[in-house]
Chain A
């Protein structure tokens, strides 16, 4: 009879071209010790695990969950072994291959710096031309720069509990990525009435019109599942950079691309003509409460 320990899923964390951002983010998962107690860690870059990287690179073991962080580079070696060789070996028997972060999902920052060489595991931006097409059914993309720790926690728990994870067209879990970063944004009232933020770090104003916010067109649950359980970019006064999307990174994060003052991109699924009509009318109304600092607004005349 197998012991309980034997039934634990074996997890292996490999790295491509990376800044370690996803590793660090995962370490901030509030319930990390509990989660780790439910899996067997074969190797992890910054935590004690069962094997050393030298042993892993020999490609003699197997795992159930292969986590890959960073962009794929066909020429990258670790311990003198091509990462590609390790990926091919460990993905063969794995139930799931989880691409953590935007680099592993779509190429991300490192693809932007070496577009001919780097890509994601399955996608090259939004094109399905990555190196792991043969095992595409196993791949779960958890895009984000870095990944939200709770998104990985959710995915691993679903796997541990043998629950089916529904994926979108970009292989991202629908439960996590069907929301937009706009959902749950505390500035939505400013968005409705087209009141712009006058700078960064302020509580008031919408960051979409002048500060480059990509919240209304970015699939992410940052404003529903808060970072460190307390905040998000937009809550703290920084625009969403759209880091979960295949076209990340765009340039000029802090500027909204406009044509004759008209935003080039409008909220997802809204026809531009209709958006402009609504925006024009909403701008007509001046709502005193939204024009100054909230804390200064007198609730009684």
Chain B
């Protein structure tokens, strides 16, 4: 049988850790829990991540890179800014539905346990692949004359705050409909809020 590469084992650990953190919470989940779920010894786990805090930071970077790559693909498409907004919303909701642990980790672990992410994950360091791609999206939208020129964080907060809020409501099972049901209206709302004023 072919040996599983180190990189694949690392990704496997990331998947397991994400699921456990989002299900049981960051502090309750222990390294032995993760190792057991991944089918490896605790000693072997430390070959991949030196501590739970380091794992926590790598997870944020992993999610940020994943989101950044998805948005990059959309940014590079030859479509209107309005269509790009729609595609970003669809992509995000699909992720929240199919890989809820990634969004949950971001909302519940990263945003709520800032003390874990203080050193080495300050400011934008761990989320820069994702934030950079959103910057590219906004920059292109304004340069094309589609979006209203304003402060970056006002626009970023509106866009991601709305998506994060919906993903939270979905995760709490408060929404009467599946996330997909809201895609059109949310895309429209975001576009209306951000589009260039006449």
B142 interfacial contact with A, CB 8 Å = yes
Interface flags for A257-301 (1: CB within 8 Å of B; 0: not) read: 011111010000000110011001101110000000000000000
Give CA–CA (A257, B155) in the complex, Å: 18
B79 interfacial contact with A, CB 8 Å = no
Contact A284 B123 (CB under 8 A): yes
Give CA–CA (A181, B140) in the complex, Å: 27
Contact A260 B138 (CB under 8 A): yes
Contact B151 A284 (CB under 8 A): no
Which residues from B are CB-within-8-Å of A280? 123-124, 128, 131-132, 135
Q: How far is the CB of A270 from chain B (nearest CB, A)?
A: 13
Q: How far is the CB of A70 from chain B (nearest CB, A)?
A: 35
Q: How far is the CB of B148 from chain A (nearest CB, A)?
A: 9
Contact A260 B151 (CB under 8 A): yes
B172 interfacial contact with A, CB 8 Å = no
Contact of B124 among A264, A272, A284 (CB under 8 A): A284
Q: CB-nearest residue of chain A relative to B153? A: A261
Contact A277 B143 (CB under 8 A): no
Q: How far is the CB of A53 from chain B (nearest CB, A)?
A: 49
Contact B149 A260 (CB under 8 A): yes
Which residues from A are CB-within-8-Å of B141? 259-260
Give CA–CA (A281, B100) in the complex, Å: 28
Contact of A277 among B129, B147, B149, B150 (CB under 8 A): B129
**Given A260-B150, A262-B152, A285-B122, also A277-B136 (CB < 8 A):** no
**Given A277-B128, A277-B132, A280-B128, also A262-B139 (CB < 8 A):** yes
**Given A280-B124, A281-B124, A281-B125, also A261-B152 (CB < 8 A):** yes
**Given A283-B123, A284-B122, also A260-B139 (CB < 8 A):** yes
Contact of A260 among B125, B129, B131, B155 (CB under 8 A): B155
**Given A276-B132, A280-B128, also A259-B123 (CB < 8 A):** no
Which residues from B are CB-within-8-Å of A259? 138-143, 149
**Given A259-B149, A276-B136, A284-B123, also A264-B143 (CB < 8 A):** yes
Give CA–CA (A272, B132) in the complex, Å: 10
Contact A273 B132 (CB under 8 A): yes
Contact of B136 among A264, A273, A285 (CB under 8 A): A273
Give CA–CA (A20, B141) in the complex, Å: 43
Contact A262 B138 (CB under 8 A): yes
Give CA–CA (A276, B141) in the complex, Å: 16
Give CA–CA (A281, B123) in the complex, Å: 8
Q: CB-nearest residue of chain A relative to B148? A: A260
Which residues from A are CB-within-8-Å of B135? 260, 262, 276, 280
Contact of B152 among A260, A264, A272, A277 (CB under 8 A): A260
Give CA–CA (A285, B123) in the complex, Å: 8
Give CA–CA (A281, B136) in the complex, Å: 16
Which residues from B are CB-within-8-Å of A277? 128-129, 132
Which residues from A are CB-within-8-Å of B129? 277
Which residues from B are CB-within-8-Å of A285? 122
Give CA–CA (A285, B122) in the complex, Å: 8
Give CA–CA (A5, B128) in the complex, Å: 67
Q: How far is the CB of B141 from chain A (nearest CB, A)?
A: 8
Contact B138 A283 (CB under 8 A): no
Which residues from B are CB-within-8-Å of A283? 123-124
Which residues from A are CB-within-8-Å of B140? 259
Which residues from A are CB-within-8-Å of B150? 260
Which residues from A are CB-within-8-Å of B133? 273
Interface centre among B128, B132, B149, B152, by most chain A C-beta atoms within 10 angstroms, is B132
Give CA–CA (A262, B140) in the complex, Å: 10
Besides A262-B152, A273-B132, A285-B122, 18 other CB < 8 A contacts?
A258-B149, A259-B139, A259-B142, A260-B141, A260-B142, A260-B147, A260-B150, A260-B152, A260-B155, A261-B152, A272-B139, A273-B133, A273-B136, A277-B129, A277-B132, A280-B128, A281-B124, A283-B124
Give A contacts to B, CB under 8 Å: 258-262, 264, 272-273, 276-277, 280-281, 283-285
Give B contacts to A, CB under 8 Å: 122-125, 128-129, 131-133, 135-136, 138-143, 147, 149-153, 155
Q: Which 10 A-B pairs have the closest CB atoms?
A: A284-B123, A259-B142, A261-B152, A260-B138, A280-B124, A259-B139, A262-B139, A277-B132, A260-B152, A276-B132
> 6 A-B pairs, CB-CB below 8 angstroms?
A260-B147, A260-B150, A260-B155, A262-B135, A264-B143, A272-B139
